[in-house]
A and B are shown apart, each in its own frame.
Chain A
Amino acid sequence: MVFQYPMITVQACLDGLLLGILFALIAYGMALQWGVMNIINIAQGDLVILGGYIAYFMYLYGIHPAWGVIVSPIIMYFIGVGIYKLVINKVVDRDLFISILATFGISILFMQLMNFAFGADVVLANSGYGTTMLFDNNVTLPNSKIFSAFISIVFAICLVIYMKKSKLGRAIRATAQNARAAKILGVDTEKVYAATFGINAALCGVAGALISITFTIHPYMGLPYTIRSFMIVIVAGLGNLPGVAMSGMGLGVFEEFADYILGTEFRIGSVFLLLVLILVYRRFKLSRKREYLK
């Protein structure tokens, strides 16, 4: 099918690339907090969905949902800091599994609260951007997807510059390298952790607002986003930003093809299976390396 209908291939590739940029944005947030706090946040996807609902609510009240890109991260930043103060700071230096389980609890909590607050319907904030037709109308490309990819790139670049230049960015990077040394040199690591979690939540907010414009959101759709970002981070490696972007786009393309070839009902399943396969591959690669070292 892929070769018989080249237009579908082009369509899937384009869709996948634009989708993948969004995934990369979420994964960047995950890589940030993983690197700095050594925490894997299972609630990442639920933060994304929550950000999406903020944009959706603006749409319901007659404000153009694209403004959600500005409003949502601001609200999400404070929610992120709140979560940090309430839960995460108690699990930061504990066993990793404790933090996974605690964030799993947060994830279930958010999922259900969103279900109560917003209802279990699949919703979408209509941006009214129209579509672009390419190749004799064979390939449809919603303008909202192009918009969302553009905005994600802008945000990612801004964040990279911020991390490089600003004082807080330098403190965050120092804490990621060595928390104890940073503490000795006068960095308030507690504050850095809170800010990191807040920035991560804000990134999720941006991504969520974009997802609510481009795709659909639903209270229970969070976990796949967590898994996707986890997968992107382990494929790219921590602190490898071009790698995150590349593997994000790769995942997007993979997903679109899985959608076309296997059918939509296996889309999420194939993502999770891919995760397992990547981890298994990684294990065998590492074990070979270990044997070599022997």
Chain B
Amino acid sequence: MNKNAIIYGVILVFGLVAPFVFPAFKVQLSILCVLIILATTWNIQGGEMGYNTFGNILFYGLGMYLCASVQVGMFFPLAEWTESGGEKTFVHTPTQFFQGMAAGLVVAAVVPTLIAGIIGYAILGLRGHYFAICTLGLGVAAGEISGGIEIIGAGQGFTTPPFPNVGGLEARGEFFYFLSFGALVLTFLAVRAIYSTRFKLILNAIRDNEDKAEAMGIETMKYKIIGWMVSAFFCGLAGGIMGGLVGYIDSTDVAFDGREMGVFMVLMAILGGKGTLWGPVIGATVFHIFKEGFWTFFLGWQYVALGVLIVVIVIYFPEGIMGWLREKYPERFGEVVDEADRKAQVELK
């Protein structure tokens, strides 16, 4: 326990100091925070519940659009804003910007949660690959449809309000960094709290054998929906922050980007290790570093690299980094190991 407290303390201090120590990487660090949030929340479905979804991107994109729309719509007519494109016909004052952002983030988190409840009731009864394909369809459909709606910019995209001119040049990066870091801490603590309750055991029971769990008297549907709503809440929040950070929302390339973000979150969780608390965090960090390397050195070939990466990770590392560590050092994970048994297993291999 004491050791854990030190680890958490070190990470927290690092998180708070990082933007000042590495000022050039502020945006990258903020994106990393968002990626960790997405991977961690995907892990609630994919890792703990055994429902492999491609659809969490839906809540992320929704959050993005909702946050930006609320931020604009509170003070200016939304249609005219999108009409004007990137031109600065309307300018937010600092107060308006922050008020709008706060309200927008609340909406961006709450509305996807409700939508997750409704959609979850409809589709969480599907099992296995039907669920996976259905959520894939949901994500793409949302992208295609939002690309046809005029008021949020249709195909030409939506420019989020620019950061007001306060606090110097560095203020924008620091604001978004601390916003995303705060969201990350919130997410991590919430997920950690959830994982220490009976709720997590129920989710694991659903993953291991849903029919049996139902036979034991657990209302699996209720817990599945709640699990998805928790994911949707944080995905929406992350989306809202990311929208402001990127500054520009496009229906298929930024918001509902199933080809990038939608796969990234799955991949990060699998890379780190499904069904563990720290796995997605580690996976997201490793993945982000690798990705930035690829994206810089293989410019243009990044999707080829991504495709190969997916195939390789899925085929050769389905257990992820945490799974590998667990096999190597089971004592660290609180598992009692019989030495003779372990040696026998090693010999068998």
Chain A bound to chain B: yes
Task: Enumerate chain A interface residues (CB-CB to B < 8 A).
Answer: 40, 42, 87, 90-91, 94-98, 100-102, 104-113, 115-116, 223, 227, 230, 234, 263, 265-266, 268-269, 272-273, 275-276, 279-280, 282-284, 286-287
Candidates A105, A273, A275; contact of B145 at CB < 8 Å:
A273
* CB-based nearest A residue for B308: A109
Contact indicator A276/B138 (Cβ below 8 Å): yes
Q: From B131, which residue of chain A is reached at the shortest CB distance?
A: A279
Across the interface, do B140 and A227 meet the contact criterion of CB distance under 8 Å?
A: yes
C-alpha spacing A110/B155, complex, angstroms:
25
Q: Which 9 A-B pairs have the closest CB atoms?
A: A109-B307, A105-B310, A269-B144, A272-B141, A112-B303, A108-B307, A105-B311, A265-B148, A97-B52
Other-chain contact of B315, A91, A108, A230, A276 (Cβ < 8 Å): A91
The answer to whether B130 and A100 have CB atoms under 8 Å apart is: no
**How far apart are the CA atoms of A87 and B270 in the complex, in Å?**
18
Closest Cβ neighbor of A273 among chain B residues: B141
Q: Which of A112, A286, A287 has the most CB of B within 10 A?
A: A112
- Known A105-B310, A283-B126, A287-B125: A223·B140 in contact at CB below 8 Å: yes
Are B307 and A227 in contact, CB atoms less than 8 angstroms apart?
A: no
Contact A97 B122, CB 8 Å, known A108-B307, A266-B148 = no
CB within 8 A of B311: which of A109, A113, A286, A287? Answer: A109
The answer to whether B315 touches A269 (Cβ under 8 A) is no
Q: How far is the CA of A108 from the CA of B141 in the complex (A)?
A: 18
Residues of A within 8 A of B301 (CB): 112, 116
C-alpha gap A111/B132 in the complex (Å): 21
Query: In this assembly, does B74 line the interface, its C-beta being within 8 Å of a C-beta of chain A?
Result: no
Cβ-defined contact, B134 with A276, below 8 A = yes
In the bound complex, do residue A266 and residue B144 qualify as a contact, i.e. CB atoms below 8 Å apart? yes
Whether a CB of chain A sits under 8 angstroms from the CB of B259 is yes
A227 and B199 alpha carbons, distance in the complex (Å): 34
B273-324 contacts to A (CB < 8 Å):
300-301, 303-304, 306-311, 314-315, 318
Q: Would B303 and A109 count as touching, CB distance under 8 A?
A: yes
How close is A226's CB to chain B, nearest CB, in angstroms? Answer: 9
- Given that A266-B148, A279-B126 are contacting pairs, would A105 and B318 also be in contact in the complex, using a CB cutoff of 8 Å? no
Q: Is the CB of B314 within 8 A of A112?
A: no
B266 CB–A CB distance under 8 Å: yes
The number of residues on chain B lying at the interface, defined by a beta carbon within 8 Å of a beta carbon of chain A, is 42
Bound complex: CA A104 to CA B138 (Å): 16
Q: How far is the CB of A291 from chain B (nearest CB, A)?
A: 12
Question: What is the CA–CA distance of A275 and B308 in the complex, to the nearest angstrom?
Answer: 28
Closest A residue to B126 by CB, please name it. Answer: A283
Contacts of A268 in B (CB 8 A): 140, 144
B301 CB to closest chain A CB, in angstroms?
A: 8
CB neighbours of A265 from chain B (8 A): 144, 147-148, 154-155
Name 19 interchain pairs, CB-CB below 8 A, sorted by A: A40-B133, A95-B318, A96-B132, A98-B318, A101-B52, A101-B270, A102-B310, A107-B307, A109-B308, A116-B301, A227-B140, A234-B130, A269-B143, A269-B145, A273-B137, A275-B134, A279-B130, A279-B137, A283-B126
Asked if A108 and B132 sit within 8 Å, CB to CB, the answer is no
Closest to A267 in B: B144
Q: Could you tell me if A102 and B315 are in contact, using CB atoms closer than 8 angstroms?
A: yes
Does chain A have a CB within 8 A of B128?
Answer: yes
| Chain A, residue nearest B221 (CB) | A287
Are the CB atoms of B129 and A272 closer together than 8 Å?
no
CB of B310 within 8 A of CB of A101, answer yes
**B residues 208-238 touching A (CB-CB < 8 Å):** none
Residue on B nearest A94 in the bound complex, by CB:
B318
Q: Is the CB–CB distance between A105 and B140 below 8 Å?
A: no
Q: Within the assembled complex, what's the spacing in Å between the Cα atoms of A280 and B122?
A: 6
Are A272 and B140 in contact, CB atoms less than 8 angstroms apart?
Answer: yes
Decide if A104 touches B148 in the complex (CB within 8 Å).
Answer: no
Question: Which residues of chain B are within 8 angstroms of A286 by Cβ–Cβ distance?
Answer: 125
Tell me the minimal C-beta distance from A26 to chain B in angstroms.
Answer: 15
Residues from chain A with Cβ under 8 Å of B155 in the complex: 265
- Could you say which residues of chain B place their CB within 8 Å of the CB of A40? 129, 133
Nearest Cβ in chain B — how far from A89, in angstroms? Answer: 10
Q: How far is the CB of A275 from chain B (nearest CB, A)?
A: 4
Chain A residues near B46 (CB-CB < 8 A): 97
Q: Give the residue among A94, A106, A108, A268 with the most B Cβ atoms within 10 A.
A: A108
B123 and A280 form a contact (CB under 8 A): yes
Q: Which chain B residues lie closer than 8 Å to A263 at the CB level?
A: 148
Does B111 interact with chain A (Cβ within 8 Å)?
Answer: no
Does the CB pair B137–A105 fall under 8 Å? no
B263 close to A (CB within 8 Å): yes
Q: Is B314 a contact partner of A96 (Cβ separation < 8 A)?
A: no
